[in-house]
Structure 1
Amino acid sequence: MSSSDLKTILHSKRANLYYLEHCRVMQKDGRVLYLTEAKKENLYFNIPIANTTVILLGTGTSITQAAVRMLSQAGVLIGFCGGGGTPLYMGNDIEWMTPQSEYRPTEYLQGWLGFWFNDAERLEAAKILQRARIEFLRKVWKKDRDLVLSGFDVANPVIDNTLSSHYEKIDSTRKPSDLLLLEAQLTKQLYKIAAQNNNISDFKRERESTDKANGFLNHGNYLAYGLAATTLWVLGIPHGFAVMHGKTRRGALVFDVADLIKDALVLPLAFICAKENATDQEFRQQCLQAFTDHKALDFMFDQVKALALKNDPEKEEQTSS
């Protein structure tokens, strides 16, 4: 297959995000495979690269140059991370390898930079993302039957009042640090609600903690970062042009975009799976299924594209159509 054939499926429509550990990724007979080694036999599994957005390589993995070449041709992002999808170094970062294509669109980067150097416009962009985050959460927690049955229901007065209160406060923020504080307060309240819904007492959010809920939150958040990084790479917007998480923090825009879906999908599933004592693989599968069911990647693309073109109504209308 040619490189153009491998990119036929748009990234926003691709179905697969892989986290691999204790295996070897290689190219064999024109396909990308991963090899697991058992005592009595070695097993090969095919990776459908044309329908894959991100591959996260965790503990005990290796990858060949030929496999990287094919993944690059298909536009797949490769991430190196620690066990369970959590970062390998410093506890707050992840290393991405991105295909070096110069054929990505320029209009979104140009539109992004058109407002990014203006402090007021950059803050307004951050507010738009935060409003979209709450709107998406309301939408998901209203229609996802499994989440509603587990207590994540926007019809619940406590949840409804919490979301409404924070939505109203977004307009009154005067600087990115105020918005970050507001975001942290909302997430903290959602943690409390989630812990109560699932009878998890004395929960405290600690990234280095070994309890199930914290582990699943770390794991799911890094899956969301994979989707966010894919969105920004495809649209050609460098990860350093953040609107809220800090202008000097490398990769901060990934965190801004990932926040669009983390509270709506990762947070409730982390607590539900912790209550059910699920395995990492079971939690990961539920997360990926939720991303697909609620079109999380599509939502990220739509929000970032609209934000990039917000000062060019004609292009924004063309994009939405």
Structure 2
Amino acid sequence: MEQLNPSDLKAILHSKRANLYYLEHCRVMQKDGRVLYLTEAKNENQYWNIPIANTTVILLGTGTSITQAAMRMLCSAGVLVGFCGGGGTPLFAGSEVEWLTPQSEYRPTEYMQGWMSFWFDEAKRLDVAKQFQFARIEFIRKIWAKDKDLKDEGFYLDDQDIQQALNGFEKKISNMTKVGDLLLAEAQMTKQLYKVAATRCKLSFERNPEQGDLANDFLNHGNYLAYGLSATTLWVLGINHGFAVMHGKTRRGALVFDVADLVKDAVVLPWAFICAKEGMTEQEFRQQLLQKFTEYKCLDWMFEQVKLQACKSFPVVESE
């Protein structure tokens, strides 16, 4: 079989890749120059191909293992691999996904240098955090205004409760002088949006990651898929996950959470409630969400916003 060069495997830009996998109860391996996952059925074993050149992230959940040969091929294609708990979420409160990032010394250095040019200045760091929040609101408006499926479920951007949540937060952002205050205001907006979604879907809801009801489980699951996209964005641009602008600076990987927030409320939040209302399975929810991630070009949006902030004081003319 003809062997592919690593450069061939990276021909599709990460921001344009369509696939994000969550796998459980299987073994990931390399066979005949391809990466496969093996599931053990009652009477036979089944192999399924993973198109690694068009994949951003693989999340390995409960009961999974991966071979060294498969990991080598995934690294060649620039695919991030994360070990996580069941359903794409941690097994225990406070634990984090462990990201296995490909070791490439040829990723751009300009974006990291641009990021560091402002990061040690507290005022500039706060300004970038604010810009991320403005972009977060912009993305909600952009998606909710045009998505027919959301409108069919009762999510109309011009509804009073939605406008109140978005406009109220937007007006507060510019006057914030501390990251802690920004976090509190952001949490308040998200809480209002939870109420909006629960009302539209006629669900009784209280946000608790360990509650065990469908809406909470789907929010957990969807958030971790968004973290996968975020981690990919930062790895490709060469920006260390530890240099957060909003979440705790002492929390390893906090920048992943900052960047994921750019799309979570716009995409994960409404679809977690809609799919919970319809009683979907976890797999059905995941397929629906991944379809929306692609349709809304969420990865493109993350790349665009991170590049914009990294290049503000340090112009970069570098493709991903």
Asked if Structure 1 and Structure 2 have the same fold, meaning a TM-score greater than 0.5 normalized by the shorter chain, the answer is: yes
1:210 to 203, 212, 235: 212
Report the CA distance between 1:14 and its aligned residue.
0.5
Question: Given the alignment of the two structures, is residue 181 of structure 1 paired with residue 184 of structure 2, yes or no?
Answer: yes
- CA deviations on 1:231-253 (whole Å, 9 max, x unpaired) are 00000000000000011110000
2:296 is aligned to: 294
Structure 1: distance between partners of 2:94 and 2:251? 14
Question: Given the alignment of the two structures, is residue 243 of structure 1 paired with residue 245 of structure 2, yes or no?
Answer: yes
The answer on whether the counterparts of 1:19 and 1:55 sit within 8 Å (CA) in structure 2 is yes
Structure 2: distance between partners of 1:199 and 1:92? 32
2:283 is aligned to: 281
- SS of the residue corresponding to residue 35 of structure 1 reads strand
- CA deviations on 1:11-42 (whole Å, 9 max, x unpaired) are 00100000000111000000000011111111
- SS of the residue corresponding to residue 56 of structure 2 reads strand
1:311 is aligned to: 313
Name the amino acid aligned to 1:60.
G
- SS of the residue corresponding to residue 273 of structure 1 reads helix
Alignment of 1:248-263 (within 5 A): 248-263=250-265
- SS of the residue corresponding to residue 21 of structure 2 reads strand
- CA deviations on 1:231-290 (whole Å, 9 max, x unpaired) are 000000000000000111100000000000000000000000110000000100011000
2:271 is aligned to: 269
Structure 2: distance between partners of 1:207 and 1:269? 16
TM-score by length of 1: 0.97
Structure 1: distance between partners of 2:125 and 2:35? 41
1:231 is aligned to: 233
Report the CA distance between 1:110 and its aligned residue.
0.3
Structure 1: distance between partners of 2:237 and 2:230? 11
2:224 to 213, 219, 222: 222
- SS of the residue corresponding to residue 96 of structure 1 reads strand
Among the aligned pairs, what percent are the same residue? 70
- SS of the residue corresponding to residue 24 of structure 1 reads strand
Structure 1: distance between partners of 2:310 and 2:130? 14
Question: Given the alignment of the two structures, is residue 68 of structure 1 paired with residue 79 of structure 2, yes or no?
Answer: no
2:127 is aligned to: 124
Name the amino acid aligned to 1:176.
V
The answer on whether the counterparts of 1:194 and 1:271 sit within 8 Å (CA) in structure 2 is yes
Structure 1: distance between partners of 2:95 and 2:61? 15
Alignment of 1:93-104 (within 5 A): 93-104=96-107
Over aligned residue pairs, what C-alpha RMSD do you find? 1.1
2:195 is aligned to: 192
1:85 to 88, 106, 121: 88
- CA deviations on 1:57-108 (whole Å, 9 max, x unpaired) are 0011111010000001100000000111011344441111001111100000
Report the CA distance between 1:160 and its aligned residue.
1.4
Name the amino acid aligned to 2:229.
L
Report the CA distance between 1:308 and its aligned residue.
0.2
The answer on whether the counterparts of 2:231 and 2:241 sit within 8 Å (CA) in structure 1 is yes
Q: More deviation in 34-43 or 215-224? A: 34-43
Structure 2: distance between partners of 1:319 and 1:74? 20
Structure 1: distance between partners of 2:192 and 2:164? 11
1:39 is aligned to: 42
The answer on whether the counterparts of 1:88 and 1:94 sit within 8 Å (CA) in structure 2 is no
Name the amino acid aligned to 2:225.
L
Report the CA distance between 1:319 and its aligned residue.
6.1
Poorly superposed stretches of 4+, deviation over 2 Å: 88-92
1:148 is aligned to: 151
Structure 2: distance between partners of 1:61 and 1:39? 17
Structure 1: distance between partners of 2:93 and 2:217? 16
The answer on whether the counterparts of 2:108 and 2:318 sit within 8 Å (CA) in structure 1 is no
2:53 is aligned to: 50
Structure 2: distance between partners of 1:148 and 1:139? 13
- SS of the residue corresponding to residue 132 of structure 2 reads helix
Structure 2, unaligned runs of 5 or more: none
Name the amino acid aligned to 1:308.
A
Structure 2: distance between partners of 1:266 and 1:2? 36
